[in-house]
Structure 1
Amino acid sequence: MRPTLYEFAGGEPAFLALAAAHHERCLADPELNHPFSHPGQHPRHVERLARYWAEVLGGPPLFSKECSDHSAMLRMHAGNGDMSDLGRRFVECFVRAADDAGLPADPEFRAALRSYMEWAVAEVLTYPGPAEDVPRGLAMPRWSWDGPLYQSDQK
């Protein structure tokens, strides 16, 4: 049986390394720096980000149990208007952070990571208006080697 993307990446330590590397890359980016350096950021932002990505990519549901839900994540990022260039930059930082974190260089794995992040950024960008526009109770997304898993696909 094929491992999940989470397992293939190396589990929790790999996602902590990925989130830390991504955060550093965003801080170094002249356009992404502002949203990543504001004083109101959660003190455990990197850990929470790692748990979110880990859960989506096949890991344990730690984000859902300990942090929040998918709707809350979308509400946190809503209300910023058109951010399409920031979205592109965010994806590129994510892709490069996978290198920085030493994630497997397997082309199929890397394609699945990029595909997920492009989808995730597009979803966030669908809520340019106020946070109240985001529906409550959205299911946590799940992503596999072949793309999104839907409720009927999940076991």
Structure 2
Amino acid sequence: MNAPTIPTLYAWAGENDRLEQLTEVFYGKVRQDEVLGSVFLHMSPDHARHVAHFIGEVFGGPPLYTTTDGGSHAQMVAHHVGKHLTETQRRRWLALLLDSADDVGLPDDPEFRSALVGYLEWGSRLAVLNSNAAENPVQADTPMPIWGWGETGGPYVPENQ
């Protein structure tokens, strides 16, 4: 008996088109939001697409962020350095993104949503930490994180410790 093939989170989410739809809806909400609007006031017209490509790559999809958009994990982190994001902003960001996931019909099965929420919690907490750093804590050659259906592999320990 063959074991079932487990899709990537990227495939299960609906691939690039669905992730681009997610980020377009999300950033539409952000632009109007009293807590987050000012944080994203000067975002480029391509911002939502770049973020969709980043999430897609992290979720096991093709490397569109690194190859098409010319980005890297270190560059994504660099966008947050010095922004001084707050816990209130992080929570609002998370709430709007999860609302957007519902709005665009991302899968709502417990396994996918657990993985999605786990990634968003992990990533948004790192973004807050990195936003209060004076310089980028991630080395230029740090590989892109890959998120799957399972655990993170241990507790967070900053690279400089």
TM-score, scaled to structure 2:
0.84
8 Å CA contact 1:87–1:121 kept in 2: the answer is: yes
Aligned counterpart in structure 2 of residue 121 of structure 1, from 124, 129, 146: 124
The answer to whether structure 1 residue 75 and structure 2 residue 108 are counterparts is no
Structure 2 residue matching 1:35: 3-state secondary structure: coil
The answer to whether structure 1 residue 54 and structure 2 residue 56 are counterparts is yes
Rounded to whole Å, the distance in 2 between the matches of 1:21 and 1:117 is: 16
8 Å CA contact 2:74–2:136 kept in 1: the answer is: no
Q: 1:132 Cα shift? A: 4.3
Q: Unpaired runs of 5+ in structure 1?
A: 151-155
Rounded to whole Å, the distance in 2 between the matches of 1:15 and 1:119 is: 18
Distance change (3 Å), C-alpha of 1:82 and 1:54: closer
8 Å CA contact 2:77–2:136 kept in 1: the answer is: no
Distance change (3 Å), C-alpha of 1:21 and 1:132: same
Kindly, what percent of the aligned residue pairs are identical?
32
Structure 2 residue matching 1:90: 3-state secondary structure: helix
* CA root-mean-square deviation: 1.8
Rounded to whole Å, the distance in 2 between the matches of 1:102 and 1:125 is: 28
Spell out, residue by residue over 1:64-111, the C-alpha distance to the aligned partner (whole angstroms, 9 max, x if none): 112210111111111122512111111111111101111111121111
Structure 2 residue matching 1:36: 3-state secondary structure: coil
Counterpart for residue 19 of structure 1: 23
Q: 1:134 Cα shift? A: 4.3
The answer to whether structure 1 residue 87 and structure 2 residue 90 are counterparts is yes
Rounded to whole Å, the distance in 2 between the matches of 1:14 and 1:124 is: 23
Q: Unpaired runs of 5+ in structure 2?
A: 155-161
Distance change (3 Å), C-alpha of 1:108 and 1:133: closer
The answer to whether structure 1 residue 42 and structure 2 residue 44 are counterparts is yes
How many residue pairs get matched? 148
Counterpart for residue 110 of structure 2: 107
Return the index of the structure with the highest Cα Rg.
2
Aligned counterpart in structure 2 of residue 145 of structure 1, from 131, 146, 149: 149
Q: 1:30 Cα shift? A: 0.6
TM-score, scaled to structure 1:
0.87
AA partner of residue 32 (structure 2): A
**Higher helix residue share:** 1
